[in-house]
Amino acid sequence: MAAIKCILGLLVLFAVSAWTEAMVIVPIIVTSDYLWCLCCFHKLSAGLYQDGFQIQGDIAVPINRNADPCVQRGCKWPKSSDGKVYIPYVIANSYIITTAINSFSASTCIRFIPRTTQTDYINIKSLDGCYSYVGRQGNVQTVSLKSQGCIYFGTVQHELIHALGFNHEQCRSDRDQHIKILLQNVIPGMAYNFDKINTLNQGTPYDYNSVMHYGRLAFSKDNVSPTMVAIPNSNAVFGTATQMSQNDIDRINLLYCSK
C-alpha cells in the first residue's frame, strides 16, 4: 500500500507541476532527500556500502568520518591560472544530465569538464540512490545519480554541490535560530542526518530556499509527521527548491571564485 501511495503521489506531482528542462521532466520538489522521504527510499540510506564507503543520507563518507567542514582540511578543488575551477567527470551511463552539470558555468567559476587523463575526477554512476562525497577526495570519487529517481535538475545540482564541499542547509552551525529538528518524528537510526556541523557559512544567511535544504518530511517515520519546522514562522516553506538559490551561488563563488 505504501508503494502504491508513493507512485500515486509522484504521479500527482508530475501532473500538476512538471516542466521541461532540456528534455528532462522536473517536478517542483526535486531534492533527493525529499523524494526519498516521500517514496520511502530512505531505507537505502542506512548501512549501505558502495566501493568501500558508507552512505549516510545522500552523503558518501568514509567510516569514522571527521564531521568538521572538509573545506578547511584541503578538500577544495584547485583553481586554474585563468581563475576557473575545472572538475573532470565521467558518466558511466547514458542518461542525460549535462544541462544540470553545465548550469554551474553560467553563474560561477566552476567548470565540470569531461575527463581525459586527470587523476582526480568525479565518476557519475547509476547506483542505489542519490549521493556524493563532500568535497574533493583525491583520485576517482563516486557521485551516484540513479537513473530512476535522481535524474532531476535540482537533484543533480544538489549532489554536485556536495562534491564541491558543501553540507546540507539544516546542518549549518546557526540552524537552531531558523529551524527546529523534531527528532521524535525521525526514523530510528536516522538522526545523524540532522547533526549540526561547525560549517563555514562565509557570512551568508540561512536559506530556506537552498537546493541543499531537506524537506519538512525528510526521514519522517510515518511520512506524515514533520521532522523539521521553521522558526519563528512555523508555516515557512522549505525543501522545495528546483535549482540553486542565489545564496547557493554566492557561497560557491565566495569559496571558489573570489580573489
- 97 inside domain: yes
- 88 inside domain: yes
Q: Which DSSP symbol is given to 146?
A: -
Flag whether pLDDT at 82 surpasses 60: yes
Flag whether pLDDT at 33 surpasses 80: no
Q: What is the share, in percent, of the chain residues with pLDDT greater than 90?
A: 65
158 in a labelled binding site = yes
- 114 inside domain: yes
Flag whether pLDDT at 15 surpasses 80: no
100-142: pLDDT as tens digits: 999 999 999 999 999 999 999 999 999 999 999 999 999 999 9
- 220 inside domain: no
42 in a labelled binding site = no
- 186 inside domain: no
- 149 inside domain: yes
**Residue 213 near residue 241, CB atoms below 8 Å:** yes
213 in a labelled binding site = no
Kindly report which listed range (2-6, 20-24, 59-63, 200-204) carries the lowest average pLDDT score.
Answer: 20-24
- 81 inside domain: yes
Q: Considering its fold, how many domains does the chain have in total?
A: 1
- 198 inside domain: no
pTM: 0.75
Query: What's 141's domain CATH number?
Result: 3.40.390.10
Known catalytic residues are 159
159-203: pLDDT as tens digits: 999 999 999 999 999 999 999 999 999 999 999 999 999 999 999
Domain range for residue 163? 53-168+250-257
Number of alpha helices (DSSP H) and beta strands (DSSP E) in the chain: 6, 12
Q: How many CB atoms lie within 10 A of CB 241?
A: 25
- What burial letters (b/e) apply to 26-61, b meaning 16+ CB within 10 Å? bbebbbbbbbbbbbebbebbbebeeeebbbbbbbbb
Which pLDDT does position 164 carry in this prediction?
96
